[in-house]
Copies of this chain bind each other. A is one copy, B any other.
């Protein structure tokens, strides 16, 4: 189950594939503190908070998410996820979406995602 998925790993900012839907994927990730400002040129992205608190900073404001709430960040929109101080997050996005989008962040960019056992 989804809540169990977050017990299977401890690393932060490293999404794991938890399921496939058409050509998109459900990914799960632990966020801690502030991520890197970035955007995705061709892909929309959904963040759903399961535990903790997550602020999505945008160029013109913020979106604060509590558990059970979600937001869709459209393609091209610059954003920075900031966990306060930690959050367990479900991402619903293209299999091709890279976590840091257009940005270069060698410490955080993850392109070869681990796959969890089936939810």
- Interface flags, A78-104, vs B, CB<8A=1, else 0: 000000000000101110000000000
Number of interface residues of A (CB under 8 A): 26
Chain A, 31-82, CB within 8 A of any chain B CB: 43-46, 48, 50, 67-72
Q: Is A94 within 8 A of B2, CB to CB? A: no
User: Does A119 interact with chain B (Cβ within 8 Å)?
Assistant: yes
CA distance A1 to B48 in the complex (A): 11
User: Does A7 interact with chain B (Cβ within 8 Å)?
Assistant: no
Contact of A3 among B2, B21, B43, B69 (CB under 8 A): B69
The residues of A with any CB-CB pair to B shorter than 8 Å are 1-3, 19-22, 24, 26, 43-46, 48, 50, 67-72, 90, 92-94, 119
